[in-house]
Structure 1
Amino acid sequence: MEDDSLNVFLKDGGTLRIPLRRFSKLWVATPEQRCDFRISASGTVLRWGQLDEDISVRDLMRDAERRHRDERLTACVSPDFPWDPTPALLSGTQPKIAGRWIDGRLIVGLTAEERWVRWDMCEDLAQQLIKKTLQDAAKFPMHSHDVTLKRMRRGIERKGWLARLETDWLMERLRALLAW
């Protein structure tokens, strides 16, 4: 165990390194208390008796798989794509941010998977709009590229498919694909 992380060495040679701040009891414990743990007979649970803390290796592995998947999905998404086009705010005398419990974690905004789905939809739409935008430009040659893109934007906004930030991104992406 290091000062800032819990390292779990697996039978298959793999290692899980988890920040201690994810485990409040371990985070505030002394180094001696952190070192005083037992591994269950099955090897599936880590137990700190003094701290009354049990950590399931299966849960740690599931969290690691989710983080790995989230990192892969995030790497696929354009870095300039908005993270949260529709922040969830609740009304009242004091502002509140809405969150959701997903896999034992409080999530505010989009998950990596939800963001990837939104980006994939916007990227696909941008690709499909290339032909439509070029057709509109040919039909109205007196319009500048900016006017043609504004016409495309109005059409997208009428559909109500995207949040404003996503529409902004889509139009910039379309401009780039057309080299306008």
Structure 2
Amino acid sequence: MSVRLAHGIGDAPRDAPVDAVVALGANLGDRAETLHAAIAALRALPLTTAVRVSAPLETVAVTLHGEDEDAPRYLNAVALVTTRLAPRPLLRELHRIEAEHGRVRRERWGDRTLDLDLIAYSDERIDDDDLTVPHPRAHEREFVLAPWVDVDPDADLPGRGRVQDLLDGLRGGER
């Protein structure tokens, strides 16, 4: 695996802030309260100056086997985080916030109290065992793209194109 960072390798804080895209989701417990608390935790991150958040979107659960109408529904949102945290320290902070909200990693794509995914980090591309950005499946997920467009209508997913165009493609060209 290779790592390519536009601003250097490592965990050191960035000289200038960058925008990172974080997807939030919850389908267990008080989903709205959990997302509200997670957003507050994002706003309290060190070296972070701004957090803009989409409106929440309720969606069907997606499992390894596809959509599951019988599983508890997700409440999703996207946050644009302006930060000087490098990608790995930011990811560690996201995992810490998940753990504080009872996230237990039992099964891949299982039900969860809170899921925080680092979708993009500026226009950087990282492909390593512990971190891949842009997120490799973000372009396939309406529950990421729709809230992202809500908070940033002109967004681009590095290597994939305009987020609105990707969303339109998933919806069959309909807006």
- Normalising by the smaller structure, the TM-score range is under 0.3
TM-score (norm 2): 0.24
Q: Which has the higher strand share?
A: 2
Q: Which has the higher helix share?
A: 1
Higher relative contact order (CA 8 A, sep 6+): 2
TM-score (norm 1): 0.23
